[in-house]
Chain A
Amino acid sequence: MDEMDLPQMKKEVESLKYQLAFKREKSSKTVTDLVKWIEDWRPRGSLPQPGADEEQPVGGERKVHPSLEETGHQSNYPD
């Protein structure tokens, strides 16, 4: 900001006024919505399975995250 000339400073002030006017929502709503969006996500074509998003191999470690594998669909990149 120290290097701005007069026209740039005027634009910067106008931009900051515009940004201040933004209608902010409570994070208790926005963060909850964000987390819910992720948790409710399902691969295309699969049915919601309450309590189990994907198969858990023995040992409890997930091999491939469901968003990089469509359940029930053939991978385009077979082994």
Chain B
Amino acid sequence: MGEIEELRKEADSLKDQITAARKAVQDTTLQEAVASITVVGRVQMKTRKTLRGHLAKIYAMHWGADAKLCVSASQDGKLIVWDSITTNKVNAIPLKSSWVMTCAYAPSGNLVACGGLDNMCSIYNLKGKDGNVKVMRELAAHTGYLSCCRFLSDSEIITSSGDCTCVLWDIETGTQKTIFAGHQGDCMSLAVSPDFNFFISGACDFTAKLWDIREGQCRQTFGGHESDINAIGFFPNGNAVITGSDDATCKLYDLRADQELITYQDSGIMCGVTSLAPSFSGRLLLAGYDDFNVNIWDALKAERVGVLAGHDNRVSCIGVSADGMACCTGSWDSFLKIWN
């Protein structure tokens, strides 16, 4: 008992020192830096395409690197690869478990992955020699649901789980290369840095953590949210992190100065944030909410500058294409919509 109490005191002292170190470098705020910048004008986007075909709630979507194809996962038990321009279904992959919560597209375009309440991450090869899409590997070791997964390459993938950990996997051998432990609540979402050296995780302990993929260490922890973090993403230049929470706010954190920069909130928004994506330039933040809408924020001025209204149920996922030309939303209403 005594040793734990000593460690607890040491941990509290270290946290106080981190707080002090952050204050020591805070010689300006984002609000001060953008005081002379005008808010962007009203942003209006139209639904350009509606992707119809799922028969139940859509839980996740992810763009392919070609900015044309995207993959979606639904609790109808299907993973669908879509051509977002023609709206054709390129692949419709039946899943062993219909309780899917996440999906991902490999940067190469060769593989997709998904997982959920089966606690596994299943990898599918889209480019098999016989033309059939089959399970290539089942990554099983998590003791909780799979909340998110993202490929580093065709040979490595990172997963986040309700067991409070994230894992870096060797896809070829199906083994865990690194376990990232430290969160005190379910890990809900992850995002990989543009240079593929780091990833960030958001969890039900209300914190976001930045992890060094090769060293296996947590480099930074960001607090401030008052409820679960459901969504997380990197700012396009890799130097900032955006989070979305059940506390109805999004936050922007500066990685280099190690501190919170701004909160995106409105007294009229009282429901949780489910998903988020920054625009290609970083000036806009698109965030999906439980109230069926996507709010568009001026990321510098923290003002709401637009709304994407069109879904008939919760917006569960959102992504901006790799070329920045379009945004895709997925919803519990079973549809995906392409906007620009």
Contact = CB atoms under 8 A, between A and B. Distances in A.
Given A37-B237, A37-B282, A63-B44, A27 B325 contact: no
B7 A9 contact: yes
A1 B22 CA distance: 22
Contact count band on B:
35 or more
B182 interface: yes
Contacts of B218: 15, 18-19
* Most A C-beta atoms less than 10 A away, residue of B4, B34, B67: B4
Contact of B182 (A15, A24, A76): A15
Interface in B247-266: 254, 256-259, 261
A17 B41 contact: no
A24 B85 contact: no
Given A24-B21, A35-B37, A30 B239 contact: yes
B338 interface: yes
A65 B283 contact: yes
B148 interface: no
Contacts of B44: 63-64
Interface string A62-79: 111111111000011101
A37 B283 CA distance: 10
Given A27-B28, A27-B259, A30-B239, A61 B182 contact: no
B7 A13 contact: yes
Contacts of B96: none
B279 A77 contact: no
Given A1-B184, A27-B26, A68 B327 contact: yes
A27 B281 contact: no
B284 A65 contact: yes
Nearest to A18: B217
Interface centre among A10, A11, A15 (most CB of B within 10 A): A15
B49 A25 contact: no
A78 to B, nearest CB: 8
Contacts of A60: 41
A32 B29 CA distance: 10
B11 A31 contact: no
Contacts of A25: 25, 256-257
A13 B279 CA distance: 37
A20 B18 contact: yes
B7 A19 contact: no
B14 interface: yes
B96 to A, nearest CB: 34
A32 to B, nearest CB: 6
Contacts of A33: 239, 256
A5 B221 CA distance: 20
Given A18-B218, A26-B257, A38-B283, A68 B29 contact: no
Interface string B79-112: 0000011000000000000000000000000000
A29 B299 CA distance: 18
Interface in A39-69: 39, 41, 43-44, 56, 60-69
B42 A61 contact: yes
A9 B40 contact: no
A26 B23 CA distance: 10
Given A41-B283, A67-B280, A67-B283, 6 more contacts: A20-B17, A24-B257, A29-B256, A30-B239, A38-B283, A64-B340
Closest 9 CB pairs of A and B: A77-B48, A62-B41, A67-B281, A16-B14, A67-B280, A67-B279, A30-B256, A41-B281, A9-B7
25 contacts: A3-B184, A9-B7, A11-B182, A15-B182, A19-B220, A22-B220, A24-B24, A24-B257, A27-B25, A27-B26, A27-B27, A30-B239, A30-B257, A33-B256, A34-B30, A62-B43, A64-B43, A64-B45, A65-B40, A68-B280, A68-B324, A68-B325, A68-B340, A70-B325, A77-B49
